[in-house]
Every structure is written in C-alpha cells, then in structure tokens.
C-alpha cells in the first residue's frame, strides 16, 4: 500500500491553514484518492472545516473532528 500524508502545521491565526487543508483534501478526493481530513486545532478549537462540511461530504472526504459539545472543550492535554 502507498500511504501519503500531507500536513499543514504552521502559520498565524487567519493565515489560511484550514482553507488550504480543505481545498487540498477536496482536490485529492476528486482525483480518486481516499482522503481523511483530521482537524486537531488544540489552541482554538473552532473548526472552520465544519463550514465546508457539505463540500467535503460531496467530495467523499472523511472528516475527523470533535463534535457537538466536545468541539470547544478546554482539555489540558498538552
């Protein structure tokens, strides 16, 4: 099996990290790749990818992210 990973990890708030990850995931899925997007923003857990949930779903991208009440939990895990 050929496993490839694309990781977007740095940049200031509002620099477009989530937007790049979402668009990359959708583009890869459109080429037939099986894509899972994992949103693990531990500093500010407001999940911008949730705004693109419909587009991700339509492109058959699996989104792994906290749901509901856990989406903005303050967990001391670092």
What would the pLDDT profile of 12-52 be if each residue is shown by its tens digit? 877 887 788 888 889 999 999 899 988 776 555 555 556 67
Neighbours of 73 (CB within 10 A): 9
> In whole angstroms, what is the distance from residue 27 CA to residue 57 CA?
13
Helix (H, G, I), strand (E, B) or coil at 53: helix
| 9 lies in some domain | no
Q: Quote the number of domains for the chain.
A: 1
Greater pLDDT, 36 or 9: 36
Cβ neighbour number for residue 60 with a 10 Å cutoff: 13
Domain that holds residue 23: 17-68
Task: Give a yes or no: residue 75 inside a domain.
Answer: no
Residue 40 near residue 68 (C-beta atoms within 8 A): no
pLDDT of residue 32: 92
Answer whether 38's CB lies under 8 Å from 64's CB: yes
Residue at 78 is within a domain = no
């Amino acid at each position: 099996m050929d496993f490839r990973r694309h990781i977007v990890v740095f940049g200031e708030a509002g620099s477009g990290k989530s937007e790049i990850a979402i668009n990359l995931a959708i583009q890869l899925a459109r080429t037939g790749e099986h894509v899972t997007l994992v949103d693990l923003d531990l500093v500010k857990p407001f999940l911008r990818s949730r705004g693109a949930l419909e587009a991700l779903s339509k492109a058959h991208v699996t989104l792994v992210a906290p749901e509901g009440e856990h989406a903005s939990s303050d967990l001391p895990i670092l």
